[in-house]
Amino acid sequence: MPNLLLQLTKGEQARLLQELNYMNLEEIRGFCSGHGIPFKVMAEHSDGNVRATKDIDRKPIVLARVRRYLMTGDVGRPTRIPVEIVREEGPPARPGPNDRLYYRWYAREHKGVIRLLRELTDGRFQNGAVVRVLAMKFWTRGEAPTFKEFARSWTKAKTEEHRLLTPEYAYLTDLKHQRANSDWKALRNARAKSALKTLARIAPPAVVARRSR
């Protein structure tokens, strides 16, 4: 498939790539579903099957696939958690520092996990974007860190939290640059609508379906 962006002028290309950041996940998933671009996290299981999980890739990851698709026609591969760190059962009620944090063993309902991480960080540990991003980074690399290792990594990541702020998070980026005023929702809607209109023009699902046969 040719570079779909070549149907646009340089200025239109730049505008579309910037406006993509204003699309919300529902809008992005709608485009992905129509073009076969994966966004669900898959997990390998001990029975040999690979199944979709409840997890969805973060916005920067999905948008990277969308941009690559527009430039190359390659939909990319889904995020896949290896069987070695997938467990059918939940974590122990009272895990120890040297136990491992397997896939999906971090969740607020796992009180023993939360309690241990707080103990290992002198009470500083808190739920939020940092812990979820960090855990998924480990898991998608095929790693299940010990709780001690994870607590240490979380402490470091927390001090570098600003690095999580990427252009794909349009509101937070505009807020940082003092561009998120009371009209921001209308701005988001307008830019997302513009992006979707351009996408429909250069990459309609029906055309893609014919080309993929």
Q: Mind listing the pLDDT tens digit for each residue in 140-185? A: 999 999 999 999 999 999 998 877 767 778 887 888 778 888 899 9
| 151 vs 126: CA distance, rounded Å | 11
pLDDT for 103 equals: 97
The answer to whether the beta carbons of residues 14 and 21 sit under 8 Å apart is no
The answer to whether the beta carbons of residues 44 and 50 sit under 8 Å apart is yes
CB-neighbour burial class of residue 151 (10 A; exposed 0-12, middle 13-18, buried 19+) = buried
Q: Residue 50, Cβ neighbours under 10 Å: how many? A: 12
Nearest-5° angle of CA 148, CA 57, CA 31? 175
pLDDT for 209 equals: 42
Along the 213 residues of the chain, how does pLDDT read in single tens digits?
689 999 999 999 999 999 999 999 999 999 999 999 999 999 999 999 999 999 999 999 999 999 999 999 999 999 999 999 999 999 999 999 999 999 999 998 999 999 999 999 999 999 988 999 999 999 999 999 999 999 999 999 999 887 776 777 888 788 877 888 889 999 999 999 999 999 999 999 854 443 333
Sign of the dihedral through C-alpha 149, 154, 155, 157: positive
Intra-chain end-to-end CA distance of the chain, in Å: 12
Longest dimension (CA), the chain: 59
Q: Which of 169, 154, 156 is nearest to 58 (CA)?
A: 169
Contacts of 148 (CB under 8 A, 6+ apart): 97, 98, 120
Amino acid letter, residue 21:
N
Predicted TM-score of the model (pTM): 0.85
Residue 154 backbone zone (phi > 0: left; psi -120 to 50: alpha; other: beta): alpha
| 185 vs 181: CA distance, rounded Å | 9
| 134 vs 140: CA distance, rounded Å | 10
| Kind plus residue range of the DSSP H or E element containing 200 | helix 184-202
| 2 vs 134: CA distance, rounded Å | 36
